[in-house]
Structure 1
Amino acid sequence: MIRIKSINYEHAAQRRTFVGVVYSRGSKEIKETILNSLDRRFSKLHREGRIHIHDLEAYGQTYNCLTPNILQSFPFKSFENYSEFRKILELFNYYKYIIVGLGNEQSGGIGVANFDEEVEILYTKLNIAKNEENFKFLQDCIDSFLKWINEARDRCGQVQYYVTLNLGLATGEVSRFVTSSVLRCFKVSDYIRPNIIFKLKNGINHKKEDKNYDLFQLAMDCTCKKMIPTYFLGDSNHNLTIDPFKIALMGCRSKVYQNLHGEDTTIGRANIVYNTINLPRIALEINKENSSLSKNEKVRLFKIKWGEIAEVVKDLLFDRFYKTCELDVDDLTCNLQNNLMIKDLSKVDSLEEVFKNGTLSIGFIGLSETIELLTGEKFFTSEENHEIAIDIVKTMKETIDNYRKKYNMNFSLLGTSGEFISGRFPSEDKKYFSHPLIDKEFYTNSFHVDVDSLLNPFDKLKYEGPFHKFCNGGCISYVEFQSAPLNNIEAISELIECAIKRDVNYLGFNFPMDCCKDCGTTGTFDNCGKCGSTNILRIRRVSGYLEDANFFTPGKKAEVAHRKPNI
């Protein structure tokens, strides 16, 4: 008999339920069936831990994540006979309906590109008066919406929805009220979801003379207490040409923007498929087979071997992409009925017409370990090794760009977050190799410096900044505080300015956040200083989202144990 507590989960958002057990058991069987059906080139790389096929159970069944276009087919007519209060209430019920529909129709997250602006457009078109009474009810509905996102565990009977709200740019009265309400409600609550991304841009909210500068201040104040929001840096050099209203990020860091088949925008577009390559594995093999080679020769060989794996991964992405395109449009009921994608599913001959606007991403993890294996030193300990690391990622991006040109498809390079694979990859590598970097039981996300580097935050951003422009499929840098920087807006602001100077795309701030379940005291502690309780909720960030540390995967638990503050 299968017991609920016997199920091992792959990410921290899962909880143990009967329905979850049924799903997990079925998912495991489906994954094995799919692996057995794949071209052996693909399945062999996955089974051996050289690559990871994400959301394997969804292979050929659905796409990954989507930023839906809520406005293009919003059901205004159904609201005509409602009172103003009912219109506000049903507006947020519609968002819930879309989240539930997409959450059970796709494998990944759901992003809202401009939550503040969207709500104002809907509010205005629904002819809702801008008065104190309506605004008070609007705030209550926003709070209720955030509460629902935190508590609803409807997906697969065990998982909360991965929702990201992008906001901060819209300057209308309702928009500003929405942004202010979201941030104020989040700050004073015990909410850890949704992920909120504040989009920062000169002329709108970045400088003191900007209309929404006060909202930027409010956002930073919220970050000081709750780690959220994180920040899309529209004034970083490689983001300057991007229309900030047309781009949105997922909390996990996914970025969908450039489009070979239409307008450059995130709205209505999806990441269709993505895989991640295990970089340390390549370096481990080189050291074992070619230990006498010079550092430069090892790096040259690494690029060749990565390129060989990337060729197979590219073919794998195509295989999954075209199998997904074979679905009928009515297999995506929520999208079909609500016209959420960049093209109307009811008016296309095949899903390929829609999905070709999405991205196919090749991710990577463990750059830090890789450089140490190839050179004997960490990449943040010398300028030479830093240049080697940059050159490797640049080479990856050049390969991705060649795929874009050759196949006329939206390939992108992703700095993978790796919640599950950060532990899976070293576990697999341990079967073939022995090395202290494997023994620590996790690999470092994407191009990040080691979590225990003890670099000051300015140096951390200096070393990570140059990688951001290459990762057009998404990336983030974090600064780790020893404790919550309560009310220290100046520190957050100074680090944001440093990140912009270093050409960082997306920036977040981490710190341990503990809460006594018995008396509600918050801080950082093993035992509650007020009541002495050991019944402590420990919130930490994992793969972009805040979660209860008790539910982390083994790899992420090992990583958290190694984390050291930058400030």
Structure 2
Amino acid sequence: VVYSRGSKEIKESILNKLDNNFSKLHREGRIHIHDLEAYGLTYNCLTPNILQGFPFEEFSNYSDFKKLIEIFNYCKHIVVGLGNEQSGGIAFANFDEQVEKIYKKLIIAQNEINLKFLTELIDSFLKWINDARDRCGQVQYYVSLNLGLATGDLARYITSSVLKSFMDSKYIRPNIIFKIKDGINRSTIDRNFDLLQLAMKCTCKKMIPTYFLGDSNHNLKIDPFEIALMGCRSRVYQNEHGKDTTIGKVNVVYNSINLPRIALEINREHSNLSKAKKIALYNEKWMEIADSVKDLLFDRYYKICKLEADDFPCNSEHNLMIIDINKVKSLEDVFKNGTLSIGFIGLSETIELLTGEKFYANEENHQIAINLIKMMRETIDEYRREFNMNFSLLGTSGEFISGRFPSEDQKYFSHPLIDKGFYTNSFHVDVDSSLNPFEKLKFEGPFHKFCNGGCISYVEFQSAPLNNFEAIMELIEHAIKMDINYLGFNFPMDVCLDCDNVGTFDICDQCGGNNIQRIRRVSGYLEDAAFFTPGKKAEVSHRKPNVII
């Protein structure tokens, strides 16, 4: 309560100090300034380079057991430190490879006793991520482990241990992203295909891992070891100032635009316009708002750049960023390598408001939707060229704004699309579309290449597809053909807190109890549905599975 009240007062104070144009856009629900309480105080999220500052010499004389313990103590220390000096998530880019490199450099023997202890420590690390509430004194850490590519015996053992520990536990965190790449794990002849099979088995039971698809057309030229994703979908890769990589780079700031609001205003003020003229006007109005959002991102970015290395003690101590923050004259030399993202939600509602039909109702509307997102990306690419900064387009997950935006719009408009209580995630088809999985991925696929700041597509199952690896593999292959960047699978997961039975039920079919915890995925992370925001509760209540008829 204290944190919530304090955060609310800080947000209001910041809005009062901002340029009135920026504050008005946020207050009226035309845009959302994410992590407002951290405005000018810190960046959003980081994929730390944990090898760069690892204290190898300090640990070199320890026993093997002590060395192993300190590897994971170090990882915890990094998570705690970053979790309290930034506003967003923490991703390990290649957890399997990174732990393997540390293990070998510390010259730890690869014997049965040490490997068994390594497995136990991995499980303890996962348990700690689920249990820790050190962030702001009450909040869990948003941690993502990217893995699946490293082919060394030890790295493969690490990947297997992570997946088995997660699969056989009650854990719902961390997020695990399994990277798929032909020649490494995609084909039956690939060295790590067995790990992909294990990952799919885990997904069938727990919804995690999700999958980065390195063989999708727009990802083909990317070194998969150099890219990592946040579980929420954020993607930080392209760099106007140096190497294209995710490792050591931050998403500095991001804001999201309320797409349906623009369409609602056009319909009210220009109801007699033809469809083509409405769309042209929509493009103009979006560009006007995007221009203000760009200026707002710059305002926040330059405030952060005026901070000192001492304001980021974990980064300062452990050299986690792409450039050592202790060795630069200005933090801008570091943060300019990060991204400034412009996000969006509600494409589905927007197209329906402008045309009268869903964007997946016919090919014409689908092309209208594609052109709209293409226009957004082209505008943002123009910002990149003009300002030599890493602007990106983000398909926002919208955990909070999915409900906030329609709530604000309801003050000015009346429409059934508002009344349902939520706007659809990024460019996704409606959650109650009932499209089969192949159709859903076909309609969403063309948007992925434009969202270089991150995006994901989900397939919704009616229940856990236990042991149905063939269906998961078939959908992964189809998603690659559809040029999907990042893919996840959702299904209801109910847990009986009396007997630990897992399934889909209101009354436990094993003990008859009704003490049920409902786990659902929102915004990339598995959560207890009891703590969802109103918008996400409304969305979950509308969800229908993507089934093949």
Q: Same fold (TM over 0.5)?
A: yes
- Residue 70 of structure 2: aligned partner: 90
1:387-398, aligned counterparts within 5 Å?
A: 387-398=367-378
| Inter-partner Cα distance in structure 1 for 2:42 and 2:502 | 41
Distance 2:86 2:281 in 1: 38
Which digits, 9 at most, give the CA deviation of each residue in 1:377-432, with x for residues without a partner?
A: 00001000000000000000000000000000000000000000000000000000
Superposition pairs of residues 222-237 of structure 1, within 5 angstroms: 222-237=202-217
Q: Which residue is 2:523 aligned to?
A: 543
2:87 aligned partner, one-letter code: S
**Aligned pair partner of 2:21 in 41, 58, 61:** 41
Which residue is 2:91 aligned to? 111
Helix, strand or coil at the partner of 2:500? coil
CA distance in 1, matches of 2:25, 2:501: 48
- Following superposition, the deviation at residue 542 of structure 1 comes to 0.6
Instruction: State the secondary structure of the residue aligned to 1:451.
Output: coil
Cα distance per residue 1:74-130 (max 9 Å; x no partner): 101110221101100110000000000000000000000000000000000000001
CA distance in 1, matches of 2:94, 2:349: 37
SS class of match (2:340): strand
- Separation (CA, whole Å) in 2 of partners of 1:150 and 1:73: 26
State the alpha-carbon separation in 2 of the partners of residues 29 and 51 from structure 1.
Answer: 20
Q: Which one of the candidate residues 244, 250, 260 is aligned to 1:280?
A: 260
Separation (CA, whole Å) in 2 of partners of 1:519 and 1:71 = 42
Unpaired runs of 5+ residues, structure 2, are: none
Partner of 2:442: 462
RMSD, aligned CA: 0.5
Task: Give the number of aligned pairs.
Answer: 547
The CA distance in 1 between the partners of 2:512 and 2:155, in whole Å, is 44
CA deviation map 1:326-348 (0-9, x unaligned): 11111000000100000001100
Deviations 1:199-218 (A, max 9, x none): 00001011111100100000
Determine the structure 1 residue equivalent to 2:238.
Answer: 258
SS in 1 for 2:252: strand
1:449 corresponds in structure 2 to: 429
CA distance in structure 2 between the partners assigned to 1:531 and 1:128 by the alignment: 46
How far apart are the structure 2 equivalents of 1:466 and 1:332? 39
Tell whether 2:178 aligns with 1:198: yes
* Counterparts of 1:522 and 1:399, CA distance in 2: 47
Match of 1:160 among 140, 164, 174: 140
In the alignment, what sits opposite 1:140? 120
- Separation (CA, whole Å) in 2 of partners of 1:521 and 1:355: 47
Which residue in 2 is equivalent to 1:238? 218
Tell me the distance in 1 between the aligned counterparts of 2:42 and 2:116.
40
- Report the Cα distance in structure 2 between the residues aligned to 1:531 and 1:125, rounded to whole angstroms: 50
Q: Which SS does the other structure have where 1:470 is aligned? A: coil
- Alignment map for 1:10-49 (pairs within 5 Å): 21-49=1-29
Residue 297 of structure 2 aligns with which residue?
317
1:413 counterpart residue number? 393
**Amino acid of the structure 1 residue aligned with 2:257:** I
Within 1, Cα distance between the matches of 2:499 and 2:277? 60
SS in 1 for 2:426: coil
Deviation at 1:301? 0.5
SS at match of 1:169: coil
Alpha-carbon distance in 1 for matches of 2:265, 2:253: 27
Q: Indicate the SS of the match to 2:429.
A: coil
3-state secondary structure, aligned to 1:464: helix
SS in 2 for 1:320: helix
Q: CA separation in 2, counterparts of 1:133 and 1:157?
A: 37
Matched residue SS, 1:368: helix
Please report how far the alpha carbon of residue 29 of structure 1 lies from its aligned counterpart in structure 2 after TM superposition: 1.1
Give 3-state SS (helix, strand or coil) of 2:449's partner: helix
Matches within 5 A, 1:302-381: 302-381=282-361
Counterpart residue number, 1:514: 494
The code of the aligned residue for 1:499 comes to A
Q: Counterpart of 1:391 in structure 2: which amino acid? A: N
* Pair 1:498-2:478 in alignment: yes
- Is 2:33 the counterpart of 1:53? yes
The CA deviation at 1:22 is: 2.2
Equivalents in 1 of 2:238, 2:136: separation in Å?
32
Amino acid at match of 1:106: Q
Query: Which residue number corresponds to residue 102 of structure 2?
Result: 122
Which residue of the partner structure matches residue 403 of structure 2?
423
Q: Spell out structure 1 runs of 4+ moving beyond 6 A.
A: none
Q: In structure 2, give the amino acid aligned to 1:299.
A: I
